[in-house]
Chain A
Amino acid sequence: MHVPWSVRRGSFGSGYAVDPLTTALVFSSITALFIGPIADKARLHADVITSIVFPLNMALAFVFLTLSPEVGLKTDVANVLWGSVLSITYPDAVYLTSICATTLALIFLFWKEFFAIMFDRKLAEADGISTKPFVYFIIFLTGFVVTLSLKLVGGLLIFALLFNPASTTLQFSHDMKKIVFLSPIVGAITCVSGLFVSLFLDLPVGSCIVLVSTFVFALAVLLSPKRRRRRQK
């Protein structure tokens, strides 16, 4: 939580000749104030909202860094931190495709075990599922996928792709199968849209992807049929 705000302090504040500490305080206070209400409105845990706000702050920080001429980052470092989808090479694409196919195959094979564990690990154990190997495997797989996605959006913005599409889809469905199926599609659409926004506005790609996907999540919360109350006649 402190990383993006401190980065913001060094970006927006220094970029626009405003006291960095004041800027950091203002932004962190606004963010902290909104996490609770957004979590309630979106019917999501506060830690999920934090995971959405975290990359949003990072993305904005990087946009401000890019806009301020006196502050700069070395390209190599920036690529690891923020990612650069345009620097992806053919071997990278092969790796990503392989890991994507392997992940899909494993999810298909062990769907019912993952499904039961996601619902309640203790109950899954009580039903006779050995939960430990599956939980450890998911943690390992997440780490593996995150590492291979570094070039795409970077190590700090990856949270956006982990949380935003799933949280967006959750606003429209009560069915976990549909959520698992639709989340990657939403993720892909926001990535492509972010790429075009980046090309159009001449801003960093990773940041634009995060901004678009957060915008789509916010839109989903507002339009979600789950929160629509029926009018009593």
Chain B
Amino acid sequence: MRGNTISQSSNTNLEAEWSQMLFEGATQMHDVIRLENVYTTYEGEKRPAIRNMNLTVNSNEFIYVVGPNAAGKTTLLETINGLLPPSRGKVYVFGQDVRKNGRKVRCQIGYVPQDFIVDPGEPYTALDVVLMGMYGKIGILRKPDRRDLNKATRIMKLLGVDELANRPMGKLSGGQQQKMMIARALAKEPKLLLLDEPFSNLDIDSRQRIPSFIERLHEENGMTIIIVTHNISEISKRCERIVVMDNGEKITDEKLMERPFLLKELYQILGMEVSSRYGLS
């Protein structure tokens, strides 16, 4: 019990320190993301995975993208960070065309892919994987130094996985790997965080703790966050805006302040379970 209190208190200090460090010199920005009439088609496919997508995300926004399977949610995230080039339209992130300056833009984006599971035989430790997230930002010909290592260790401690640092990544459970992937995305101190179904493998305790931690990052540091989920019950109370996608198209894009019953309506439309914490079910 006492150990827990000490651990919680030291975690609070760490979080404060982390928050301060994370956004040293961060400036207010607008239009973090702008998509203009974007169509993205996978190679060999005729039908675009996302169609006629127009989306503007301002700095400090906390957005959930929801929709059923194959709605185009993952494609949207990968189009934003430039991993998938749009077949039509323009994508700007931090005011830069992603097709032209993709690498530079991606150095500022923390990305957690959906269901990323490492094979048990892969020879990478969890710490290796978390550190790798910073390599693009560190830049070519520079080695990660003590400060980078400290950042990685600190974020792992905050997520409660620091004791697993030297274990092979592939030997960790699905939930532990997911936490490592979140740590990897945060270790690079991103200005924009793109999370694709990031809590799907987490246990009940972590499903409370880790989203709260991410919410705090948003509140205290103004990090722009987009979380993709097909499960409305995962939507945070602090979410400001919800984009609903279906069949590759944006169906709704609403601010919760303007439509407080949106979640309830979504529940009715999409037939998904809404957590009792919203008093909607």
Chain A residues close to B by CB (< 8 Å): 43-44, 109-113, 115-116, 119-120, 122-130, 170, 173-176, 179, 226
Contacts and interface: CB of A to CB of B under 8 A. Distances in A.
Contact of A122 (B83, B109, B123): B83
B116 A123 contact: yes
Nearest to A122: B83
A123 B106 contact: no
Q: Which of A44, A122, A125 has the most CB of B within 10 A?
A: A125
Contacts of A170: 121, 123
A202 to B, nearest CB: 39
B132 A126 contact: no
Interface stretch (B23-31, B32-40, B64-72, B133-141): B133-141
B95 interface: no
How big is the B interface, by class?
20 to 34
Contacts of B138: 112
Nearest to B131: A112
Contacts of A176: 123-124, 128
Contacts of B141: 109-110
Interface in B127-161: 128-129, 132-138, 140-141, 143-144
Nearest to B123: A176
Given A113-B140, A174-B123, 6 more contacts: A44-B121, A122-B83, A123-B132, A126-B81, A129-B103, A176-B128
B129 A119 contact: yes
B122 interface: yes
Nearest to B139: A128
Interface string B186-226: 00100000000000000000000000000000000000000
A174 B106 contact: no
A174 B123 CA distance: 4
By Cβ-Cβ distance, the 5 closest A-B pairs, closest first, are: A128-B136, A128-B107, A174-B168, A43-B121, A127-B136
B103 A128 contact: yes
Q: Which of A128, A130, A170, A175 has the most CB of B within 10 A?
A: A128
B175 interface: no
A130 B104 CA distance: 10
B135 A116 contact: yes
A125 B124 contact: no
Interface in B84-128: 103-104, 106-107, 109, 111, 113, 116, 120-125, 128
B147 to A, nearest CB: 15
Contacts of A124: 132, 135-136
A126 to B, nearest CB: 5
A44 B51 CA distance: 41
B106 A126 contact: yes
Q: Which of B120, B132, B141 has the most CB of A within 10 A?
A: B132
